[in-house]
Amino acid sequence: MSTMTLYVDKKSFIHHVAPLTKLLYVMVSIAITYIIPKLEFVLFVTLTSLLILAIGKVFRKILPILALSILLIISIIIVQGFFHPENQTVLYSIGFITFYKEGLTFAALLTLRVLNMIMSFGILILTTKHDELVEDLIKKGMSPKIGYVLLSVLQLIPQMRATMGKITDAQRSRGMETEGNLLVRVKAFFPLIVPVVLNSLHNTRERAIALEVRGFNTKMKKTFLNLSKEYQYTKTIQSILWAILIVTIAWRILS
């Protein structure tokens, strides 16, 4: 993976799907899990997102993010299992701790929604070049300023990670201990994080000056250096996604 982007360069069918089509999948896959709040249906959508990640050969890259969501998932299970307003059926008890079927069912629904949301965004971010995504959005009418902000957000974590690595190496060369027990790591945290923040602010100022010099704020119509790419099956995939969204809305209204 590049140090300046979250994009993972692999050869897969998913990588050759149009960026806006993958963005549409993100919106549809998240929306339908709320339109049809059925546990089995949400599980199917979540497994579909997981399968797409596997086809795109980026499933391993999403695992650290899924691991970070474990604390959120545990809190959802505890809160809903204990305090869901519709709790009636006792599922099991451990001493004074009682879990209810209704609460755990709703917790499972929320958990699957969270996992599907993470994985669907992972499909977009890990298999799409960010500059191509933003450029396509601008060509569709999005403000270039919003596009710049979006691109900056997508590049923020990789840039800070790269900067952190450089500063850590520099501090180690000066004799600073950055590895060891918790106390050693805490002592090294502030000498590391302050240069990272200052460097980020400096880079932001330099970017602002560079954009101003290049006429970023001009009112004239923007032109593009790169020609729009032609992607296969774009209309077919988008039609299927829109059809799925319409069918789920109709099912919800009629049911």
Higher pLDDT, residue 118 or 135: 118
Q: Domain boundaries in the chain?
A: 14-128+230-254, 135-213
Residue 38 is classified by DSSP as: -
Angle between helices 144-173 and 182-213 (to 10 degrees): 140
Contact yes or no for 55/164 (Cβ under 8 A):
no
- pLDDT at 236 (0 to 100): 94
- pLDDT at 139 (0 to 100): 84
9-23, 98-112, 196-210 — most confident range:
9-23
Q: 3-class SS at 94?
A: strand
- pLDDT at 51 (0 to 100): 96
Distance of alpha carbon 193 from alpha carbon 247, whole angstroms:
50
The pLDDT > 90 percentage for the chain reads 36
How much is the mean pLDDT over the chain?
Answer: 83
Higher pLDDT, residue 252 or 84: 252
**Upper half-sphere CA count for residue 169 (Cβ side, 13 Å):** 5
Distance of alpha carbon 86 from alpha carbon 104, whole angstroms:
11
With tokens 């099956």, the residue in question is: 233
47-61, 83-97, 160-174 — most confident range:
47-61
214 by Cβ neighbours in 10 Å (0-12 / 13-18 / 19+) ranks as exposed
Residue 181 is classified by DSSP as: S
- pLDDT at 214 (0 to 100): 67
- pLDDT at 180 (0 to 100): 65
Distance of alpha carbon 205 from alpha carbon 229, whole angstroms:
32
- pLDDT at 241 (0 to 100): 96
pLDDT digits (tens, 9 = 90+) for 123-175: 999 999 888 888 888 888 887 778 877 877 777 777 777 777 777 777 777 77
- pLDDT at 87 (0 to 100): 80
pLDDT digits (tens, 9 = 90+) for 2-49: 445 788 888 899 999 999 999 999 999 999 999 999 999 999 999 999
Question: CB count, 10 Å around CB of 133?
Answer: 22
Distance of alpha carbon 25 from alpha carbon 27, whole angstroms:
5
Angle between helices 39-55 and 101-127 (to 10 degrees): 20
Instruction: Please write down the HEC assignment for all residues of 220-255.
Output: CCCCCCCCCCCCCCHHHHHHHHHHHHHHHHHHHHHC
Residue 246 in this model has a pLDDT that exceeds 90: yes
Contact yes or no for 146/136 (Cβ under 8 A):
no
